[in-house]
Amino acid sequence: MSDMPRTKIICTLGPASEDPEVVRALVRAGMSIARINFSHGDHATHARTIQTVRRVAEEEGCLVAVMADLQGPKLRVGDLPQEGIVLQEGEVVVLTSSSFSPGRIPVPHPEALQGLQPDQRILLDDGRLELRVEGRDEEGVRCRVVVGGRLTSHKGVNLPGGTSHIPAITPKDREDLRFALEQGVDFVALSFVRSAEDVRELRRLLDAAGSDLPIVAKIEKAEAVDTFSDILEAADGIMVARGDLGVETSPEEVPFYQKRIIRACNRVGKPVITATQMLQSMMERPVPTRAEASDVVNAVLDGTDAVMLSGETAVGRYPVEAAETMASLCEHAESHLPLGRFLYGAERPPSPTVTEAISHATVEIAAEVGARAILTATMSGTTARMVARHRPGVPIVAATPNPRTLMRLTMVWGVTPVRVPRFATTDEMVVLMVRAAYERGFVRKGDRVVLTAGIPFGGEGRTNMLKVHVVGETGEV
């Protein structure tokens, strides 16, 4: 039986974690999903990283999914001297679409520069530096430095309140998506989503490629917050990307956006990731700050399915320690969740569908009969997701013959996905479900378990069976 936290951990892989033994240590620490950040690196490097993840996961006998995170219409500074440049408060600099020269900052996005207006704020490097537009001339956009500091190559550029004219899916994203599909990744994350139409555009590209890859929409713009309900309906999962969200909106609003977004995802049973700067200080130090520890714990208490490490594991000095710390914090937070009563408390939940009623009853009955585990048979993953949103106090073992569903459930809180052969009858399904849980140490002979599935098996979103079963009573183990 796994002793990993029930909250899933996503680790971004990069120079600090490309070594196979570091990847192995991350897997042992609890990494469920390896994130490949297409804002950095090249395809050859990413291919090696994906190959390493799969080889190590197979050697360790566990499931580790791969998520391709597309760069999206992210504005970035161009190439600067290696040591960077220092911007002094009050000085005037020019943003240009051409190359660097003293007093000129390259921003290779002419369409974005064209839209800048006098007195508009420009934030650099996740808001650490600030410029204000004064005007434009033949050289470019003239700006005054409001908050100075050192600026290095390829740092982000944000235009709070402005509208980007860059397409939602850039030519680079299309090339990266093609590569990701060739590599057989398990998720694709779409950056800087502004509306549900951005998600639908990516869906059309996937459809044209014959792929049903699940889409994770990253919420990091004010427009996305305003249209979130439509985005949630269009996407398969959500990431609360708090870094750019805090720059594009205001930092004091981000915790409330986080709570509302997570709650909305919980209610519909779609996985949600909390990301950015969760253990930021561990890029340089082996222990987190108290504020970071509190941040992780509160994300779990909010109901996040997964937490994500970015620079901490990609380029930080302590990648393994960061993952181990994240796992420890998640486990502690989980011990304080109102297990089984998370979604609706003591109230009787609204159950407009049979699936929702059965998923809630499954969790309630598991608690009442002292079940050791909840076992779900699922083809699409819907049954497992709907049960997991209630945060039951026992493991959820999701048995599926579908290899794609197997990997997709690595993002769902509390679910251990296991591959089983295809079955023809309900009795055969029960035998395979129970045997899978028994062989992995989740249950022993004589334990009670609660079984749930959709009958006949194979239809998406049709959970209609619930059964209390005693392990071994039909000779399955």
The residues annotated with a catalytic role in the active site are 35, 76, 218, 276
* Residue whose C-alpha is closest to residue 451's, from 432, 475, 477, 423: 432
Task: Specify the residue for token string 């609360």.
Answer: 240
Report CA 441 to chain centroid distance, whole Å.
28
- Tokens (6 digits) for 170: 């850039």
Q: CA–CA separation, 244 vs 158, rounded Å?
A: 8
Distance CA 309, CA 206 (A): 27
Q: Which residue has the tokens 């915790």?
A: 255
Whole-angstrom distance, CA of residue 137 vs CA of residue 316: 41
Closest CA to 195 of 169, 176, 160, 171: 169
* Strands 75-76 vs 373-377: parallel, antiparallel or unpaired: unpaired
Give the helix/strand (H/E) hosting 466. Answer: strand 465-470
Contact residues for 171 (Cβ-Cβ < 8 A; gap 6+): none
How far is 15 from 288, CA to CA, in rounded Å? Answer: 21
